[in-house]
Amino acid sequence: MEIPYTVQNRPDTGLYNAKLGIWLFLASEVMLFGGLFSAYILLRVSQPPGGWPHGWLDVRLGTVNTLLLALSAITTLLAWAACKVREFGKFKFFHACTILLALTFLGIKSYEYHDKWIHYEIQLANGKIADGHLIEKSADFDLAKITGTVTLHGREVENHVELMDLRSPAAQSAKLDEMTIPASDIKKMENYGPRHNTFTAIYFTLTGLHALHIFGGTLVIFYLWGPGSKLYKTDPERFTNRIEVSGLFWHFVDLVWIFLFPVLYLT
Amino acid sequence: METTVQQFPPFRETPAHPGHDDHGHGEHHEPNFWQKYIFSTDHKVIGIQYGFMALCFMLFGFFLMLLMRWQIAHPQMPVPFFGPILEKILGQPAAGGAISPELYNSFGAMHGTIMVFLGVVPLAFAAFGNYVVPLMIGAPDMTFPRINMASFHAFFLGGIVMLVSFFIPGGAAQAGWTSYSPLATTIPTNGQAFWLVGMVLLITSSLLGAVNFIATIIQLRAPGMTWMRLPWFVWAQFVTAFILLLAFPPLEAAGVLQLMDNVAGTSFFLPTGLAVGGQLADRSGGGSPLLWQHLFWFLGHPEVYVLILPAMGIVIEVIANNTRKPIWGYKSLVYSVLGVGFLSFIVWAHHMYLTGMGQKIATFFQATTMMISVPSVIILTCMFLSLWGGAIRINTPMLFALGFLPMFGIGGLTGLPLGLAACDLYLHDTYYIIAHFHYVVAPGTIFALFAGVYFWFPKMTGRKMNEFWGRVHFWCSFAFMNIVFMPMFVQGIKGMLRRMSDGGINYSAARVPNAIDALPGTAMQMNGVILWAAICLGIAQIPFIINLFWSISHGEKVGTNPWRATTLDWQTPTPPPHGNFAHEPQVTHGPYEYSMPGAAEDFTPQDAPADKTATAPQPAH
């Protein structure tokens, strides 16, 4: 006996096997991201007043990325529709667009990560805080040996609280300068990596996991667009099903971003 | 629902499939050893792979427990015979052949992890589910055979990662199988990171398996196999798969967050102002240890039902077969298992009454916990009532299934005081808890799993396991299980805490004579009794191990349906060939039509021609 309903729908469920499979998988993904979003909510509401940062992420870049993914959802749908009406050329074009859009998304995301990685908060010996993006470290810079200097593009503040709300008028009007700080003035130096505070931890973990999903989805779509598309010649119906199933996953990943964007960038 | 009579002679006893007599070795020319046993996509081979690995892991987990019991009964004394070996393998933590507190902690954490995630779940869900479910519903294989293979490989890899963690500097995870933060992050060993990576692999394996099971049961049921004709075992596996599918991902999320805490220095589960060893930890803080517990128990409690439901499924099959009459209350059983599956998602915080999460929340979870006992009791009651008036055949599988009933009953009923917050505050984290959940999973679930092994062994090999040694195995296990676990209720009520590497000696009346709550001498003496009972329990498994391997080639040869069972798994050749059925079975009967009036024999297979009963009124489905 062969396994039935690999391509055709089972009459009483109206589904072929893989479509049911991907919906079940997506249900588990909902629970995965549901767990992470619950963690976000619980950690955020338990912060002391003023403890949650605002405006740390670039809304413009976030908006561009949102539009990129929304557009890729459309091209994914069109690619599937093209397969459905057996227009292979159009399928190739639309999924090429999907792949390019996804890669652009990942490019922008990497830029944002890098921007946070070179952003430093330095506690100075005089009790003030220097905060800004790294321009350069002198060749002999070493915190342990207390030698050399570090140059930031940013500002100096009296209190850590001033760094928390970058949307406040005070922060908006702050003048950013280049400043060079000798190692002897530095008490503690830390970049805006995951360990910086709860917000950056959540930001890197959630968007990182999402980016992994984007990366995995792109790999699958690239395979179906390239070497995997040979199947179209021999079994177009099965191939169309594969495009549909991978498309369902892609739409889910887009949807996760639709939640991530307001939760991390806009609030 | 579907009673169309296809005049299609269903598969009955036919000449044995080629390659059946010498149990499959080398009869098929096409697949070589690797394709057949390591990279197989056949659900039956994968089921056996899972079963074999799970039994090995269970034996290993049992051995860890024996070492711990020695340490509890004789704190800091060198372990006889195994002590020098331990010292040789593990070095400093086992200096002088004695088990250090750190080593005790990692044995404790790994005993729990191995028994739950590498032993019982793979055996109950993956092994029996893989082997039996497609056969029972009349399917040629799982829906996604290659995903099935990937699932086993992820499981295997996860097991390897767990085992490797014993040998890294600092040793395996030491924060208990629950891995509570901040303990799990502050203990100076990378074992926790290994544990988390291993768990992510095991979760992946379970997810792939769960998707496969659900899709198979929905899509690949043979014609006529309506939902109400499914053997209850399939229902139990179906609900179990949903629990795994939906409850495991939050633990995966928690695992990722804790991995970030351990590796990237974040503070998801570390509170502000955390001090480690008297020093303020270099952490941003702001995290929540309670969050870990919520995410962990969101899996952790449904996991209990993952452990018990497939076992109950096995018991129902064995009882129906050996009482020779329909199971009592099939529909109640189906709705109860669905109810248990649903409610299992909203009881998790009854593990957290003592955390200070608040009385209002505790009250809510106390109510749901009491509610879930209703469908559980319905299931157990149906099992008991099925025995009423049956012509019971006593054989090894039936003995284990009958043993399951009172043992699970004890486990379940002793859980009631734990579900009520007021008494849980006292009993929490004592040996009472250990006794309670071991009664559920050890003489409960594991007895049912033994029943399943003895019951389906003839299907896998075409031979029965030895009956006499099976009975020896049962009666010795039954006696020693109870001697191991019954005293723990007393110890717990006397106030002995779990997770103490010295077995409570520092709190004993002998050490602190003036304390009114010191542990009395009787409670301390029980440690010695339990040790010897545990050793005897281990010896009692030797007949099983020998029987299992010996019977593969020397057991009594039997036909395709030695138990004279109704379900489809017994209506195929033995062992079933690739593709399982010669042609698609047409299901015309319910799952438990034993001793039907007017039937030629005392069992009516599900795919028996319908003409004999076609005139009889069909039960409304």
Question: Where is the domain boundary, A133, A158, A191?
Answer: A191
Using the Cβ of B59 and the Cβ atoms of chain A, whether some distance falls under 8 Å is answered with no
pLDDT score of B513: 86
Q: Which residues of B106-141 are buried (b: 16+ CB within 10 A; e: fewer)?
A: bbbbbbbbbbbbbbbbbbbbbbbbbbbbbbbbbbbb
Instruction: Supply the pLDDT for residue B12.
Output: 40
ipTM score of the complex?
A: 0.95
In a domain? residue A9: no
Predicted pLDDT of residue B256:
97
CB contact under 8 A, B253 and A39: yes
Determine whether the interchain pair A39/B295 forms a contact, defined as Cβ–Cβ distance below 8 Å: yes
Please give the residue range of the domain that contains residue A258.
20-47+55-116+197-266
Whether B211 sits inside 8 A of A29 (CB atoms) is: no
Over 50: is that where the pLDDT of B615 sits?
no
What three-state secondary structure class fits A142? strand
What are the tens digits of pLDDT across the range A230-243? Answer: 999 999 999 999 99
Flag whether residue B266 sits within 8 Å of chain A, measured between CB atoms. yes
B122 has a pLDDT exceeding 60: yes
- Please tell me whether residues A112 and A33 are part of one structural domain: yes
CB contact under 8 A, A201 and B266: yes
- The verdict on a CB contact (< 8 Å) between B249 and A2 is no
The model's confidence at residue B20, banded by pLDDT at 50, 70 and 90, is very low
Helices B330-343 and B232-263, axial angle in degrees (round to 10): 10
B200: closest chain A residue by CA: A32
Phi then psi dihedrals of residue B463, to 5 deg: -135, 150
A203 in the same domain as A105: yes
Instruction: Give the max Cα distance, chain B.
Output: 83
Query: A126 and A110: one domain?
Result: no
Which pLDDT belongs to residue B10?
Answer: 39
With respect to residue A11, please indicate whether it lies within any of the assigned structural domains: no
Q: Is the pLDDT of residue B548 over 60?
A: yes
Query: Would the pLDDT of B328 be above 80?
Result: yes
Query: Of B515 and B86, which is predicted with more confidence?
Result: B86
- Average pLDDT rounded to a whole number, residues B482-490: 97
- Judge whether residue A41 has pLDDT over 80: yes
Domain CATH code at residue A169: 2.30.30
A87 lies in a domain? yes
The pLDDT of B155-172, averaged and rounded, is 94
Q: Is A35 within 8 Å of B265 when comparing Cβ atoms?
A: no
> Is the predicted pLDDT of residue B550 greater than 80, yes or no?
yes
Given a contact cutoff of 8 angstroms between Cβ atoms, the answer to whether B266 and B182 are in contact is no
CB pairs under 8 A between A and B: 136
Q: Which residues of B touch A204 (CB under 8 A)?
A: 264
Q: What is the pLDDT of residue A205?
A: 97
Structure tokens belonging to residue A37: 């979003």
Do A205 and A256 lie in one domain? The reply is yes
Q: Are the CB atoms for B172 and B192 separated by under 8 Å?
A: no
Q: With a cut of 50, say whether residue B9 has pLDDT above it.
A: no
Is B214's CB within 8 Å of A24's CB?
A: yes
Asked if residue A112 belongs to a domain, the reply is: yes
Amino acid residing at B464: K
Which residues 283-312 on chain B approach chain A with CB closer than 8 angstroms?
283-284, 286-288, 291, 294-295, 298
Instruction: For residues A185 and A214, state if they share a domain.
Output: no
Nearest-CA neighbor of B421 among B346, B363, B358?
A: B363
CA distance B439 to B442: 6
Q: Do A214 and A105 fall into the same domain? A: yes
Better-scored residue on pLDDT, B26 or B33: B33
CATH number, residue A40: 1.20.120.80
pLDDT range class, residue B517, cuts 50, 70, 90: confident
Is the pLDDT at A105 greater than 70? The verdict is yes
Mean of per-residue pLDDT scores for chain B: 91
Closest by CA position to B548, among listed B451, B470, B432, B436:
B470
Q: What average pLDDT does this structure show over B335-352?
A: 96
Closest CB to B249: pick one of A28, A193, A194.
A28
Q: In chain A, at which residue ranges do the beta strands (DSSP E only) sit?
A: 119-124, 129-137, 149-157, 177-182, 186-191
Domain range annotation of chain B: 37-269+286-612
pLDDT the model gives residue A158? 92
Is residue A236 included in any domain, yes or no?
A: yes
Query: Nearest by CB to B246, which of A1, A27, A42?
Result: A27
Across the interface, do B286 and A29 touch by the CB < 8 Å criterion? Answer: no
Angle formed at CA A249 by CA A245 and CA A250, multiple of 5 degrees: 110
For B261-269, what is the mean pLDDT? 95
A204 and A129 together in one domain: no
pLDDT tens digits for A201-233? 999 999 999 999 999 999 999 999 999 999 999
Query: How many C-beta atoms surround the C-beta of residue A115 within 10 A?
Result: 14
Contact B217, B272 (CB under 8 A): no
Query: What pLDDT digit, counting tens, does each position of A248-259 carry?
Result: 999 999 999 999
Identify whether A8 is part of a domain.
no
- Residues 211-240 (B) with a CB less than 8 A from some CB of A: 211-212, 214-215, 218-220
Chain A positions touching B145 (Cβ under 8 A) are 3
Residues of B in contact with A113 (CB under 8 A): none
| CATH classification (class only), B37-269+286-612 | mainly alpha
**Side-chain-side CA neighbours of residue A215 (13 Å):** 10
The tally of domains found in chain A comes to 2
Which chain A residue has its CA at the smallest distance from B266's CA? A195
Same domain flag for A101 and A40 = yes
B262 close to A (CB below 8 A): no
- Minimum-distance CB partner of A25 among B211, B252, B265: B211
Residues A146, A261, single domain; the answer is no
Q: Is the pLDDT of residue A247 over 60?
A: yes
Answer whether residue A6 is part of any domain.
Answer: no
The pTM assigned to this predicted structure is 0.93
Same domain, A25 and A76: yes
For residue B94, is pLDDT > 50? Answer: yes
CA distance B541 to A43: 48
Contact B248 A28 (CB under 8 A): yes
The mean per-residue pLDDT over the stretch A9-31 comes to 96
Determine, for residues A197 and B215 on separate chains, whether the beta-carbon distance falls below 8 Å.
Answer: no
Q: Which residues of A touch B288 (CB under 8 A)?
A: 42-43, 46
Residue B348 forms contact with A (CB below 8 Å): no
**Residue B30 — very low, low, confident or very high, per pLDDT cuts 50/70/90?**
low
pLDDT digits (tens, 9 = 90+) for B281-318: 889 999 999 999 999 999 999 999 999 999 999 999 99
- The predicted-structure confidence for B559-582, as pLDDT tens digits, reads as follows 999 999 999 999 999 899 988 998
Contacts of A36 in chain B (CB under 8 A): 253, 256-257
- Whole-number pLDDT of residue B514: 85
Instruction: Decide if B288 and A195 are in contact by the 8 Å CB cutoff.
Output: no
Q: What band does B611 get if pLDDT is binned at 50, 70 and 90?
A: low
B245 at interface of A, judged by CB pairs closer than 8 A: yes
In a domain, A219, yes or no: yes
* Residue B606 Cα to chain centre, angstroms: 28
Confidence of residue B17 (pLDDT cuts 50, 70, 90): very low
Is pLDDT above 60 for B613?
no
Which residues in chain B have Cβ-Cβ distances shorter than 8 Å to A34?
249-250
Do residue A124 and residue A29 come from a single domain?
no
Let me know whether A204 and A107 are in one domain: yes
- Of B56-70, B195-209, B294-308, B499-513, least confident by mean pLDDT is B499-513
Q: Is residue B14 pLDDT above 50, yes or no? A: no
Give the Cα separation of B266 and B118 in Å (integer). 29
Chain A: residue whose CA lies nearest to B579:
A1
Q: What is the DSSP string of B315-363?
A: HHHHHHHHHTSPPTTHHHHHHHHHHHHHHGGG-GGGG-GGGTS-HHHHH
Using DSSP's 3-state secondary structure scheme, residue A109 falls into helix
- A→B contacts (Cβ < 8 Å), by residue, are 1-5, 10, 13, 15, 17-18, 20-21, 24-25, 27-29, 31-36, 38-39, 42-43, 46-47, 51, 193-198, 201-202, 204-205, 209
B267–A21 C-beta distance less than 8 A: no
Give percent of chain B with pLDDT exceeding 90: 82
